[in-house]
């Protein structure tokens, strides 16, 4: 009887571990999925202009942004979703590094509330990275175009979307479906890795 319990326990253990691994039954593990998205992310600057991003995907993107860590859990971020063609074109015209907004069907402006945190730009950077990774997971294209810390760019964004003075724009993220295949850069550099030897 005892040997039957041992065999049953061994079978359950093997089954659980093979299920978690995911590779034995043809499914992809969580680790493989996450690393695939991280290493597959690329900066997309060319979009299919007349293919809109769905409201559901837009919400998924900002929800991912809000899942980012923030100092003392202050969550100082605000997200402005822009679908208005006139505003996208105006920003493309006035922002030196965001000309692709003239093609993008949508943009997300990640902003920080300076009354909630003096290091809002750090928390909003984490939120921005979450949005970029989620865009990759949704087969969308996106790219980080900086507003902060450039006063002229921040002023342009604030003016065009009527931000109050205590809400500062960190980044404008053009979002859309990529125009053609996009290549991924392998950015790993062994020389940047330093072992703790002191």
pLDDT tens track for 128-164? 999 999 999 999 999 999 999 999 999 999 999 999 9
As to burial, measured by CB atoms within 10 angstroms (0-12 exposed, 13-18 middle, 19+ buried), residue 114 is middle
Q: How far apart are alpha carbons 111 and 87 in whole angstroms?
A: 17
pLDDT tens track for 18-53? 444 445 567 889 999 999 999 989 999 999 999 999
Q: How far apart are alpha carbons 101 and 1 in whole angstroms?
A: 71
Q: How far apart are alpha carbons 127 and 110 in whole angstroms?
A: 8
Mean pLDDT lowest for which of 5-9, 41-45, 78-82, 119-123?
5-9
Mean pLDDT lowest for which of 4-13, 55-64, 97-106, 187-196?
4-13
pTM assigned to the model:
0.84
């Amino acid at each position: 009887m005892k040997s039957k319990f041992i065999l049953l326990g061994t079978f359950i253990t093997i089954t659980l571990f093979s299920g978690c691994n995911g590779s034995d039954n043809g499914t992809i593990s969580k680790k493989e999925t996450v690393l695939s998205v991280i290493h597959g992310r690329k900066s997309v600057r060319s979009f299919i202009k007349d293919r809109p991003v769905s409201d559901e995907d837009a919400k998924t993107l900002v929800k991912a942004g809000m899942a980012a860590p923030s100092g003392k859990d202050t969550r100082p971020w605000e997200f402005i979703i822009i679908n208005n063609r006139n505003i996208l074109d105006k920003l493309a015209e006035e922002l030196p590094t965001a000309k692709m907004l003239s093609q993008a069907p949508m943009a997300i402006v990640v902003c920080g509330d300076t009354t909630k945190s003096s290091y809002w730009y750090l928390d909003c950077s984490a939120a921005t990275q979450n949005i970029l990774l989620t865009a990759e997971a949704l087969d969308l294209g996106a790219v980080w175009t900086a507003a902060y810390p450039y006063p002229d760019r921040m002023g342009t964004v604030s003016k065009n979307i009527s931000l109050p003075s205590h809400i500062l724009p960190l980044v404008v993220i053009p979002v859309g479906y990529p125009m053609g295949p996009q290549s991924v850069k392998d950015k790993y550099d062994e020389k940047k890795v330093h072992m703790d030897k002191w």
